[in-house]
Each structure stands twice: as C-alpha cells, then as structure tokens.
Structure 1
C-alpha cells in the first residue's frame, strides 16, 4: 500500500510538471531540451563528471539548454556569447544563489559569501572580506608568509631530491596552500596545528565542497519528503552531516584558540578582526552577530583558499610533465631571467617570467578549478540568445566546455600556452571565453590572493628543480582522468622525482 501510494504521488507530480511544461512552452520560447525520462528527467545523463556530460548534451541540443534534474529545471550555458549575456548583460537579474540543502548546512544557514543569496547581508560580508583580507594592500602585506612557506617547501623537496624518491605533488600542493591559509587566515602554523589531520586535508576539503554543492536528492526531488528519504537511505545525509561536523570542529578549535587570552600572535588575522567586530556590534547588527557568522566566512576562506591554488598548481605541473619540451622552455626562461644563483624566490620575481603566465592561462582554459562555476538563480525573467529564462530558474555556466569550444580555440584539447602570445584574452572576468573565476557581481573575491599564491608556488618548483618521472614511466603514461563534482582533481595523484639544480 505504501509503495503504491508513493508511486501514485510521483506519477501525479510528474504529470503536473509535464503539463506545466507544455503550458509554458506555448507561452515562452524556452531553450531546447534533450529527451527526458519521467520523474528523473535528465538525471541519468549527468554522470560522475557533470561538466563533461553536460558538454556532450549541449553539443547535440544547444549551447543554451534546458535540462531537468529530477523535478528541478536547470538552464545550462555552454557558449561564450550566452555566458556574457548571463554574467554581464543580465548579471543583476541572475546573481543570486539557489538555496541548496548542502550549502545551507555547510555555510551555517547561508552565513558565507559564496553560496549566500544576493542581498544586503551578502553585500556587507563581501565588502568586509574585500577590505580585511582580499584588498591589494592586505594581499601584499602577507607576502612574507607566502614566501616563507614556499621556501619551507623547497627545503622539504630538496630532502626528497637527495635519495631521488618520488613526491606526491597532489598532496604537496594541498599542504602548501593549507600552510598559507592557516597562517594568513587562522594565525596558526599548519605543520604544528593539532586541530587537523594534515595527511587528510585534501580529503576534508573535497568532502566539504561535495557536501556544499554536490547533487543531493533533497534538492532534486523537493516533494513530499521523497528527496530526504532517499538521502537517508543512500547515506547522503550522513556524509553531509559528517563533513559539517569535521569542519565545525576545526573552526571552533581555531576560534577557541583566538579567544584564549594567553595566545601569542605575530599579526592580527581575519578571525581576530571578526571577533572584534562581533564584540563591538549590537544584536541587531547583521554583519557578525554570532560565532556562526564567523564560521560561515571561515568556510569560504578554508575551502576555496586551499583548493583553487592547489588544483591549479597540480594541473599545471601535470600538463608540463606530459609535455617535456614545454617544461624545459618555461624553466629555461625562468632561470635565464632570474639567474642561476638565487637562494630564495620573492613575489617581485613573478612579473619577470611572462611565459609562466601563458602556462597559467592555458591551465585555466583546460582545467578551470570550478568547471560549472557556482550555480546561479534568476530573480527576474530574462532572455539569453533569444530564449526565455523565467524567474527562480537555476543556471549553470559550463566554463570547462567554453574553454574547449573548437569555435574559439584551435586544437582545443592540446595544451599550448603559446596560443595566448599577443592575445588580449585574460582570466579576470572580462573575457567570457576564459572564466576560471567567474564574472560579474559573484566573481571569486579571492582571485588576487589565489593568483599570487600559485604563481609563487609554481615559480619555486620550476626554478629550483628539474622533474623526472618515476622509473618505468614515460610522459605518455601520465593520465588526466578526473574526479569530483564541484571542483575537479586528478584522479591518480601526480608523482614526480625532484632533482635540485639551483
């Protein structure tokens, strides 16, 4: 009886959806859709790598495409022109975020800036973090920390170079970025912290991100508790709660440390600033009323601060290892321009090596850290490429597909940094064929601090070391198989042997 009743409810709801769909199609010029199954829509076609699955669907259906993920209609954007209309022309009308179950949980009920819906509270938090952490003056003031952590990394890699042992660069890059985030944002040494399992920091970051923006049945089937039931039965609810508890314990430990009057510090970090603001505000002030408001912002700093830089460095080194001639070319330029006797790389050296900038651009094109960007939601009716997109419609911009569009790029699957020589195309949100950080009001606020971090990290690795493959491997054996949903990691860790040369 219960199963029959559930099926009847599902069939009834599905019928209403399809009737509504036909009515709207007679009224509006909706984007084309690929064939769908009842109830699940196109969910079966998404797969483990949504950016690739949606690209394949768009190639058959259109670069502005309407798919249904369960009961939820989603407009997928896969062209430069359509992305410009969404992110620039109609930015104000579609710069909010959908209220997803995972992002609500991980962000302490939308007290972050990445997933908080657009409004006055979001504006206040964005302005606050821009002033206290992401402005150019603040970014420059923490340059010594980035330089010290990169110098420490060089020393550790030099120890591995002595016995010619392979290094897991995937973990190495997460440790480097975590070390910088812990010192700049948390006022702690990552290496000395007892609040986190250093060997599993990459796993914690991915658990948090997948919980925050992964596909959760409660979001896709928000009818009669069906989604929640499936989440319970599938273990998704438990995974979400486990990720929340791990992150919450970390942030509470860091905050408790800052509240300790005996704590020693070498600079006032963002947590000190947030605690000061919280203590100075009244209960009616909206910026930093509670500890949960602090934890919400720490979620952004921790997850995005570690992940973006680590992934960019990992994919850049992966592509260079697969292309030995390009590896040699960028290293020759770096060593020629900086000389062969530097004991330490500084941030002043970054602007002296233009070919490295080309490598980073090409890495962003092939491997944007967030291939579908963060989801948006329309606040008003808009038109994109002549198609109607109604209010409350979820939008995904497939930056990964745009970066591999053969109409925009010659031999798009090839890693070729020289395609950017004399090209005006940049990655800072003004050129819609290259969108690693997004664009418009919701562009990544930490772009500047992220750029300087992985530029400095790559510069150190390419200046001080040559890189060999482990015995028995050739560059053709390095795969680029991906894993992940929100952000994409190399499925098989990148392991190379460092050879100290400078």
Structure 2
C-alpha cells in the first residue's frame, strides 16, 4: 500500500469515527434535554402557548417537572418553573446564561444595540450598568431625593382627598402611574410630565403599555427568524413608532436643557439633576445621544408601568381581603399615630405587615411574569439535564411564586407568611425573584420598592376604600392581560372614605 492510499484510508476512518462521535453526542444531548410535550412538525409547541403563556407553562410543569423544554418553531426554549432550578441557574451558571435572546420586535430602532436591558455582557453594557448603579439609582442619590418622592406622594394624597370630597372613585392604576411618572420626570428632568387632573398621564400610560405589550407579544418572527426580514405582523414597525414617540418627548427636553447649558445668561436655571449628569457624560464622550435616549426609554418604561400595575394589584388584593387591610391600617396608626397625614420613607421600617403585603403581592403578581429571556452561551448542565447552546431560557416567576412545594396554600393572599420570615426581594432568595437575580438584576429595585411602600402606606393610612355603588366583592375582576407585565383587564376603581 503506497503512502497516498494509506493517508486516504486513515482520513476515511477518521471521518467515519468523527461522524459517529458527532451522532452519539447529538443523540446523547437530545436525550438529556429537559422533558416536555412532543413538538408538532414545523410549528413545534407554538400552539401550546395559549393566550396566557405563563399559565400554560405552569400547567406543563405540573406534567413534566420544573424544568421543561419546548420547540417553538426553530427555537429550543427551556422554561424554569421552580426556585431550586432557578437557584442552580443563577448561583452556578449565571455567567453562561447572562446574555439575552433578542425578540425580533426589540430590534426596532436598534434598541437591542443601545439598551442596557438587551445588550450582551460587553464593555458597553458594563458602562451603562455602572452609570445606572452609581450615578442614577445609587442609594446615595435615592436618599438625597427623598423629599422629592415625598412631594409626589403628597400630590397623590391631595388628588385622592379631592376625589373623596366629590365621592368620586379613584382609578388606582392611573393615579399610581401619574405619581411614578412625575417622580421620574422630576428626578431626571426637574419637570412634571403629567398631572392627576389631565389626560396626559393616561396617554403616557397607554404608550408604555403598548411598548410592553408589543415586546411581550408572541411573534412568529421569533420562532422562525427568517420572517424577521419581512416583519409579517408589523410588530417591529409598531414598536419603532412607539419608541420614536417617546424619544421625541425626551429630545425636546434635552434640546431645551442643552440650550440653557450653553447660554451665557447668568440667570439661566442650573438644575444639577440626572439629565445634567447624563449630558456631562455626553460632553465627555462617555455616552452617545442614542444611548441616552434608549437608557431613558428603559428607565421610564420599567419605572412607571410596572410600579403602577403592582400597586393596582396590591389594592385589589386588599379590597378582596379587608381583614388584611384593617391589620395594616392598625399597624400604621400604632406606629405613627392617628391623623398623621405625611408618611416618611424612614417610617416604612416600622411597618413589617405593610412590607409583608407588598411581598405577598409580588409573589402572586410579579411585575414581569417571565424574566427577560436568557440565552445559553454553551451547552450547560442544569439539574441533570442539558440546556443546549443558543437555547432560549425563560424563568416563569408567576409559576415560582405559586409553587405548592414551597408555598402553603399558594393561591391564597396571606401576608402573614412573610412575617418573621427572612425571604427578601434582592435576588438571594430564589422563592421570590420579582426583580430578577444575578448580574442582570433590575437596577431600579430599591427605587421601586421605596415608592411602592410609600404610596401604599399613604393610601391605607388616610382612607378606607369601598367599591362603587352596586358592586360586591364577587364583581371584582381579577382577570389579566398578557404582556411583559400582567395588567388587570378591568382597572380597579374604588371610592376613598377619609379615616380621620
């Protein structure tokens, strides 16, 4: 046998060997995928999603276990539905799951390349994260802006007081949204973007919900990426329009501020607010204007709609469970005295039952039903199964919060379960992850929690609440509409009755 023939034989044997090794590993990893429903040809498990995927996935987890795999079109998707799987994911494999699967809609306006929420772990992401954590949402800045939050909550109280005098119902979600919007706009821009008496806040609220809904909407372009070229349902086009609408508002404010900063007029107002901080970074070429625009989109979107929705769910649960409301009102009265209209952030630490109410609401109604989708950067072993490279990973917070293996009577609203309980919200207790965990935990966690407790304490201390005439507790609608957040289908409208 000559050398050429020998080489060809060796190459052939090696080729066959590698082919069989590859086939073995394909079968091995396929067999080690988490269990799940059998996919249908072409479409896979798309039709298993239903109108409320969080509930559909929770039901599948009851059949196949807390870690399931599905084939959504061409995309392998793994869903985490228990705290112990989430713990292994975040503690042992956070780096492997740190990047995002990008929904086709988020490519609108290059948002995926500019948004801290969607960027991959990179120097750009680290820079935006550092700016947010240190200069925008740090404990020091939040402490320094306590008086501002107090003023916005006082405005909320004045609005509710006026409704009480007129015996008018309060739309809780809208009132909370206006308060949150004005808090952010004052903190960032030193101006108010809405008032309780105008329709402006409702227009903003609808815009924010439209953004959340389009990002969260099931989209065939995500399941069959080739469809992204044609955007068959117009989701990306609509979202681009919503982003543009919001950015126009920001740019008008930014241009006016830049004119003031460049003015030689000594009487020009110097605010030293967050916008000034961002423009200082822009002047130093540490941030681009596109990054500023999309950072503001992220913060205003996450900091208004989710806060408003959470407070609305909290008040709805308390209307349904009046004993819990009375216990909390008594706690506030004992801690602060009767008729004390102004509640300070420093008072919240004296109100463990109020904080327990908020945790219980976040357990049952997390601000986002799924954490933003993660992507496996390599084949990752998780709880004895393999999550294959490029798989999309969804953490079903709604299912984790209602896991009967962790929570006694999980469907029952019971704040008492959090009394004398060490479970916190900061991403270390995997039974309760409303703001996520790991390196991509929500940077606005502390601001959101401060505002929610402060608004709730103000509403409960000063008022009793009743349904509109002719309504009973049985008429209270608990239905939800699916997006990145779960909003009530029918807004909560209740009548405030002064307590003092």
Structure 2 length-normalised TM? 0.90
1:198 counterpart = 2:197: no
Give the Å deviation of 1:212: 3.4
The more displaced of 171-180 and 234-243 is 234-243
Matches within 5 A, 1:395-474: 395-474=393-472
The more displaced of 39-48 and 465-474 is 39-48
Which residue of structure 2 lines up, in the alignment, with residue 328 of structure 1? 326
**Is the contact made by 1:99 and 1:117 (CA closer than 8 Å) also made in structure 2?**
no
Q: Distance in 2 between matches of 1:111 and 1:381?
A: 28
1:208 counterpart = 2:211: yes
1:66 counterpart = 2:69: yes
Which residue of structure 2 lines up, in the alignment, with residue 499 of structure 1? 497
Which residue of structure 2 lines up, in the alignment, with residue 247 of structure 1? 246
1:235 counterpart = 2:234: yes
**Is the contact made by 2:97 and 2:376 (CA closer than 8 Å) also made in structure 1?**
yes
Matches within 5 A, 1:44-123: 44-105=47-108, 108-123=111-126
**Tell me, what secondary structure is at the counterpart of 1:423?**
coil
Give the Å deviation of 1:196: 9.4
1:270 counterpart = 2:268: no
Going from structure 1 to structure 2, the CA distance change for 1:316 and 1:455 (only over 3 Å counts) comes to same
Which residue of structure 2 lines up, in the alignment, with residue 26 of structure 1? 28
Which residue of structure 1 lines up, in the alignment, with residue 8 of structure 2? none
| Deviation sequence 1:159-210 (CA, Å, 0-9, x none) | 11012111111111111111111111232212379x9932222211111223
Q: Distance in 2 between matches of 1:340 and 1:158?
A: 17
Q: Distance in 1 between matches of 2:181 and 2:268?
A: 20
Q: Distance in 2 between matches of 1:265 and 1:352?
A: 39
1:482 counterpart = 2:480: yes
Which residue of structure 2 lines up, in the alignment, with residue 3 of structure 1? none
Q: Distance in 2 between matches of 1:438 and 1:192?
A: 31
| Deviation sequence 1:302-325 (CA, Å, 0-9, x none) | 101112221221111110001111
1:43 counterpart = 2:43: no
**Tell me, what secondary structure is at the counterpart of 2:99?**
coil
**Is the contact made by 1:50 and 1:485 (CA closer than 8 Å) also made in structure 2?**
no
Q: Distance in 1 between matches of 2:257 and 2:463?
A: 38
Going from structure 1 to structure 2, the CA distance change for 1:320 and 1:107 (only over 3 Å counts) comes to farther
Going from structure 1 to structure 2, the CA distance change for 1:264 and 1:451 (only over 3 Å counts) comes to farther
| Deviation sequence 1:107-154 (CA, Å, 0-9, x none) | 634212111111221111101111111111001111111100110111
1:310 counterpart = 2:308: yes
Give the Å deviation of 1:236: 2.4
Mark the structure with the bigger radius of gyration: 2
| Deviation sequence 1:51-86 (CA, Å, 0-9, x none) | 111111121122111112221111100111111111
Query: How many residues of Structure 1 are paired with residues of Structure 2 in the alignment?
Result: 472
| Deviation sequence 1:414-473 (CA, Å, 0-9, x none) | 000001122221111111111101111011111011110111111110111110111111
**Tell me, what secondary structure is at the counterpart of 1:91?**
coil
Which residue of structure 1 lines up, in the alignment, with residue 132 of structure 2? 129
RMSD (Å) for aligned C-alpha atoms = 2.2
Going from structure 1 to structure 2, the CA distance change for 1:266 and 1:31 (only over 3 Å counts) comes to same
**Is the contact made by 1:309 and 1:454 (CA closer than 8 Å) also made in structure 2?**
yes
Structure 1 spans left out of the alignment, 5+ residues: 1-19, 282-286
**Is the contact made by 2:29 and 2:386 (CA closer than 8 Å) also made in structure 1?**
no
Q: Distance in 1 between matches of 2:221 and 2:467?
A: 45
Going from structure 1 to structure 2, the CA distance change for 1:265 and 1:472 (only over 3 Å counts) comes to farther
**Tell me, what secondary structure is at the counterpart of 2:423?**
coil
**Tell me, what secondary structure is at the counterpart of 1:108?**
helix
Give the Å deviation of 1:265: 5.0
Going from structure 1 to structure 2, the CA distance change for 1:500 and 1:121 (only over 3 Å counts) comes to same
Q: Distance in 2 between matches of 1:329 and 1:358?
A: 11
**Is the contact made by 1:93 and 1:382 (CA closer than 8 Å) also made in structure 2?**
yes
**Tell me, what secondary structure is at the counterpart of 2:79?**
strand
1:169 counterpart = 2:168: no
Going from structure 1 to structure 2, the CA distance change for 1:266 and 1:52 (only over 3 Å counts) comes to farther
**Is the contact made by 2:108 and 2:237 (CA closer than 8 Å) also made in structure 1?**
no
Give the Å deviation of 1:213: 4.2
Which residue of structure 2 lines up, in the alignment, with residue 178 of structure 1? 181
**Tell me, what secondary structure is at the counterpart of 1:93?**
coil
Which residue of structure 1 lines up, in the alignment, with residue 13 of structure 2? none
Q: Distance in 2 between matches of 1:266 and 1:48?
A: 50
1:141 counterpart = 2:139: no
Give the Å deviation of 1:260: 2.4
**Is the contact made by 2:68 and 2:80 (CA closer than 8 Å) also made in structure 1?**
yes
| Deviation sequence 1:455-493 (CA, Å, 0-9, x none) | 111111011111011111122321211112211111110
Give the Å deviation of 1:334: 0.8
Aligned partner (choices 339, 345, 348) of residue 350 of structure 1: 348
Structure 1 length-normalised TM? 0.89
> Which runs of at least 4 in structure 1 moved beyond 4 Å after TM superposition?
20-23, 262-266
Going from structure 1 to structure 2, the CA distance change for 1:213 and 1:256 (only over 3 Å counts) comes to farther
**Is the contact made by 1:103 and 1:213 (CA closer than 8 Å) also made in structure 2?**
no
Q: Distance in 1 between matches of 2:49 and 2:79?
A: 12
The more displaced of 309-318 and 243-252 is 243-252
Q: Distance in 1 between matches of 2:432 and 2:311?
A: 18
Structure 2 spans left out of the alignment, 5+ residues: 1-21
Matches within 5 A, 1:10-25: 24-25=26-27
